[in-house]
Chain A
Amino acid sequence: MTETQDAPARGDSATLPAIELAGVVKDYQSHGETVRAVKGLDLTIGEGEFFSLLGPSGCGKTTTMRMIAGFEEPTEGEVFLHGQKVTGVPAHRRDVNMVFQSYALFPHMSVFENVAFGLRRKGVERSEITRRVGEMLEIVDLAGREKRRPGQMSGGQQQRVALARALVNRPRALLLDEPLGALDLKLRQQMQVELKRIQREVGVTFVYVTHDQGEALTMSDRIAVMNDGSLEQLGTPRDIYEHPASKFVAGFIGTSNLLSGEVAEVADGRAVLAYGPGERIVVPLREGTAVSGGQHVELTVRPEKIELHTEPPAGDGSMIRGTVSEVVYLGTSTNYQVVTSAGADVVVFTQNVNSAEDIAARGDSVWLSWDPRHSYLIGQIGATP
C-alpha cells in the first residue's frame, strides 16, 4: 500500500526486516496506577518468517502485537514495518493484518463480504475482488460457503474465515493472537498443520502469539520467549529447547531438570561440579561466561538426555547417584523420578526401544549419566565475579 509510505524510509525495503521493535515500552494507566506491560523490547522479525511470541498469560504478548498492528502506541521506543517508522500511524493505514483470538468476524455479513471487506476498503476492482476472495476461500478450504453467515459456522470454520479475511489483502505481515486458543485439542492440532501449510503457500511473515509452548515449538522458525514484559530468550525452537538461557525458559519450555552445585575446577572450557565419591557434573562453559572455583551454579538438563543405569557407568561425562521414587510406564517411553544424592528431584525419560521390562523399580539405587553437551549453566553467570 502506498498510504503507509509517508514515514521516512530507512533503506532498501527488499533487504529490510519485516518488523522491527526498538526499545519499545508500554505503560497502561489503570485505576490511577501505571502498569508497565512491556519493558523495553527489541525484536527484529525477518521477511517470510514464522515468528512466535511465547510466554505465560499477562506477559505482554497481546500488547506487543497491538503495538505492531497500530491499536496501541508505545510509551517509548519505535516500531518499524519494512524500515518505515510507523509509530503514530493508525491501524487502518498499516500494511499488516490481524487475526483476533475471538475471530471478530462481522456478524451481519456473509463469508464472502467478510473476506472482501479489506479489498473493498482499498478500492480494489470488483472482478478482482471476486477472483481473489474465491482464491482465498479455496486456500482455506471454504469454497462454496460464500453465502453463509459467521453465526452459522463451526469454530474451526470461523477461524479460517478470519484467516482468509486477513490474508486476502496480501499484508506484509500477518499478526495472529492466540488464534487457536478457542478450539478443542484435536481441531487445534489440525489447524496448526493447516496454518503452517497456508503460511508456506502464501509466504507471508507470520507473527504468532501463543502461551502454548508445544504449538510454538512445532510451528515456528524462531521464538521470542517473553516473561513479565521482557524478552527472556530469542532463538530457533531447537535453540530454545536445547539451550534454555534462563531458569524461566528451561521451566516454561518442556520439562527440565534443575540441578545445582559448587564448582570444583574449571578447565578446557568446562566446569566440573563435585558431589559424593565418583559423582560429578561436567558442564561446558559458553563463550563469555566466567566461572571460578567454589562458585555456586545452577544448570539444566532435559529428561530425555539422561541415561539410567543400575551399575556405575564408564566414561568421563556427568554421572550422579540417586534413588528411584516413581516409575510411570507410558507405552513408548517410561518416566522415572529419581532423588539424587544431593536431594534434587530429577525426571528421566527412557524410550522403550528394546527393553521388555523397566530398567529399575521404585526404591532401587541407580546411576544417572549424560553427555556434558546436554547440560547448561543458567542465570547471569557472567555478571557474578
Chain B
Amino acid sequence: MRRRLTPYLMILPAGLWLVVFFAVPLIMMASLSLQQGNLVDGFQQTFHWQNYTEGLSTYGDKVVRSLWYGLLGTVACIVIAYPVAYWIAFHAGDRKSTYLFLLLLPFFVSFILRTVSWKFVLADNGIVLGTLKGWGLLPEGFHVLQTSFAVIAGLAYNFLPFMVLPIYVALERIDYRVIEAAKDLYAGRVQAFVRVVLPLSLPGVFAGVIMTFVPISADYVNAAILGGPQNTMIGNVIQTEYFNNSNYPTASALSFTLMAILLVGIFLYARVLGTKDVLEAAGR
C-alpha cells in the first residue's frame, strides 16, 4: 500500500505548488472574465459572456497581429537558430559548451534591459543608423524603430535561445555514422542534409516552434519599447486594460481568448506535424 502511494507523495509538493500558484489564479481569472462592474463600485459575477464577444470584436485585429508577429518571429528564429545550432553541434569541436554559453550570455541580463538596449542600437541617430546616415548610405528620414520590423526583430532576438537549444539538442543526438551512411549511399552533402540530418532534427524544430511561438504571441514588452501605436499587440491591450483602465473583466476575457487560440493552435500543430509519417516523407 505504501509503495503504491510513494509516487503520489513524491509529486505532492509540486502538485500543491501548481494548485496554489497556477490553478487557483486561473480559476479566479476565469471567474473575473465573466464579471461586470468597475473599480469604485466593485465587480459582480453576472456571467457576462459579452466580455468575450465585445473584447474580440474590439481587439480582434490586435489578436490577429499578435499571431502574425508570432508566426514571423518564429520563422525568423528558425532561420537564425538552425545554422547556429548546426554549426555548434557539428563544427564547434571541443568548444561546444563555450559557444552555447556565449549564446546564452545576453540572457543573463533582464528582458526589459535587453530590449531597451535594442532601442538605443536602432535609434534614428544611434550607432547603426546614425553612422550609416553620416556616411550618406541611408536617407536622413530613414527609421527602424516604431515599425513592425523592429518589433519582430526584437521578438526574434529575445526568444532565440528557446529555438537554438532544442534544435541543438536534436542535432547533437544524431549519430554521425548515420550521416556517413547516407554519404556512403551516394548522397552528397545537400542530399545527406535534406534526407537525414534535417528530418532527424525536425523534432527539435517542432519543440522550438512551440517554445517561441507561444511567448512571442503573448509578448507586450517588445511592441511597447520598439514599436509604435500601429504595432500594438494583444499583450499590450491586456496590459493597458488591466493596469491602466482597471478593466479586469475585459483583460481576463482577452487573456483567456488568447490562451484558447494558442492551445487549439498547438493541438492542431502537434496533430499535423507530430506524426512520424511527416518525418518519413521528409526522408524519402
Contact with B along A85-127 (1 / 0, CB 8 A): 0000011110001101010111111100100011011100000
Taking a contact as CB atoms under 8 Å apart, the answer to whether A106 and B181 are in contact is yes
Decide if A71 is an interface residue (CB 8 Å cutoff).
yes
CB distance from A54 to the nearest CB of B (A): 22
Q: Distance (Å) between the CB of B95 and the closest chain A CB?
A: 15
Inter-chain contact A108/B200, CB cutoff 8 Å: yes
Cα-based distance from A10 to B186 in the complex (angstroms): 24
Of chain A, the residue at the smallest CB distance from B186 is A121
Give B61-119 interface residues, CB cut-off 8 Å to A. none
B140 contacts the other chain (CB 8 A) = no
Contacting residues, chain A, for B184 (C-beta < 8 A): 69-71, 91-92, 97-98, 166
Residue pairs across A and B with CB atoms within 8 Å: the count is 76
Q: Contacts of A117 on B, CB cut-off 8 Å?
A: 182, 185, 187, 195
Q: List the A side residues contacting B196 at CB < 8 Å.
A: 106
In the assembled complex, B180 has its CB within 8 A of some CB on chain A: yes
Nearest CB of chain B from residue A255's CB, rounded to whole Å: 35
Contact A104 B283 (CB under 8 A): no
Which B229-284 residues sit within 8 Å CB-CB of chain A?
276, 279-280, 282-284
Question: A102-B177, A117-B195, A120-B284 known; A107 and B185 CB under 8 Å?
Answer: no
- Contact residues, B169-198 vs A (CB, 8 A): 175, 177-178, 180-188, 191-192, 195-196
Tell me the residues in window 60-83 of chain A with beta carbons closer than 8 Å to chain B beta carbons.
Answer: 69-71
The answer to whether B186 touches A71 (Cβ under 8 A) is: no
Q: How far is the CB of A132 from chain B (nearest CB, A)?
A: 14
Name the residue in B183, B200, B282, B284 with the highest tally of chain A Cβ atoms < 10 Å from its Cβ: B183
Nearest A residue to B199, CB-CB: A108
User: For the side of the interface on B, what is the size category?
Assistant: 20 to 34
Contact A107 B182 (CB under 8 A): no
* A90 smallest CB distance to B (angstroms): 7
Determine whether the beta carbon of A121 is less than 8 Å from that of B180. no
Residues of chain B within 8 A of A70, CB atoms compared = 184
Beyond A102-B177, A113-B283, A121-B191, whether A107 also contacts B183 by CB under 8 A is no
How many of A's residues come within 8 Å of B, CB to CB? 29
Q: Complex: how many Å from CA A98 to CA B184? A: 7
Measured in the bound complex, the distance between the Cα atoms of B182 and A69 in whole Å is: 12
Q: A162: nearest residue on chain B (CB-CB)?
A: B181
* Measured CA separation A100–B175 after assembly (Å): 12
**Distance from B273 Cβ to chain A, minimum over Cβ atoms (Å):** 14
One of B175, B185, B276, B279 near A169 (C-beta < 8 A): B185
Question: How far, in Å, is A207 (CB) from chain B's closest CB?
Answer: 14
Which A residue sits closest to B174, measured CB to CB? A107
How many Å from the CB of B175 to the closest CB on chain A?
A: 6
Q: How far is the CB of A167 from chain B (nearest CB, A)?
A: 12
Interface membership of A321, Cβ < 8 A = no
Most chain B beta-carbon neighbours within 10 Å: one of A69, A102, A106, A113: A106
Closest to B282 in A: A108
**A109 adjacent to B280 (CB under 8 Å):** yes
User: Chain A residues with Cβ under 8 A from B185's Cβ?
Assistant: 92, 97, 117-118, 121, 165-166, 169
Contact A104 B191 (CB under 8 A): no
Among A90, A98, A109, A166, contact of B283 (Cβ-Cβ < 8 Å): A109
Partner of A107, one of B178, B186, B282: B178
B283 close to A92 (CB less than 8 A): no
Are B178 and A104 neighbours in the complex by a CB distance under 8 Å? Answer: yes
Given A106-B196, A109-B283, A117-B195, A92 and B186 contact (CB-CB distance below 8 Å): yes
Residues of B within 8 A of A120 (CB): 284
Contacting residues, chain A, for B199 (C-beta < 8 A): 108
Contacting residues, chain A, for B284 (C-beta < 8 A): 109, 113, 120
A112 to chain B, nearest CB (A): 10
Q: How far is the CB of A139 from chain B (nearest CB, A)?
A: 18
Q: How far is the CA of A122 from the CA of B185 in the complex (A)?
A: 9
Given contact pairs A92-B186, A104-B175, A107-B200, A113 touches B280 in the complex (Cβ within 8 A): yes
B181 engages A108 (CB within 8 Å): no
Smallest beta-carbon distance A69→chain B, Å: 6
Give 1 or 0 for each of A126-149: 1 = CB within 8 Å of chain B CB: 000000000000000000000001
Specify the chain A residue showing the minimal Cβ separation from B179: A104
A121 and B276 contact, CB distance less than 8 A: no
| Chain A nearest Cβ from B207, distance in angstroms | 16
Neighbouring B residues of A1 by C-beta, 8 Å: 186
Closest to A93 in B: B186
Which of A104, A108, A109, A166 sits near B177, CB closer than 8 Å?
Answer: A104
The answer for the CA separation of A385 and B236 in the assembled complex, in Å, is 96
Q: Which residues of B contact A97 (CB under 8 A)?
A: 184-185
Task: Name the residue of chain A whose CB is nearest to the CB of B279.
Answer: A108
Q: Which residues in B have their C-beta under 8 angstroms from that of A166?
A: 184-185
Tell me whether A92 and B279 are in contact (CB under 8 A). Answer: no
Pairs across A and B, CB under 8 Å, 19 listed: A91-B183, A92-B183, A92-B187, A92-B188, A92-B192, A97-B185, A100-B180, A100-B181, A102-B177, A104-B175, A104-B178, A105-B181, A110-B280, A117-B195, A121-B191, A149-B276, A165-B185, A166-B184, A166-B185
- 9 smallest CB-CB distances across A and B, nearest first, come from A118-B185, A121-B186, A104-B181, A104-B177, A108-B279, A91-B183, A92-B183, A98-B184, A104-B178
Residue numbers of A with Cβ under 8 A of B are 1, 69-71, 90-93, 97-98, 100, 102, 104-110, 113, 117-118, 120-122, 149, 165-166, 169
User: Besides the contacts A92-B186, A165-B185, what 17 more A-B pairs have beta carbons closer than 8 Å?
Assistant: A69-B184, A90-B183, A92-B187, A92-B188, A98-B184, A100-B177, A106-B178, A107-B178, A108-B199, A108-B279, A108-B280, A109-B283, A113-B283, A118-B186, A121-B185, A121-B187, A122-B186
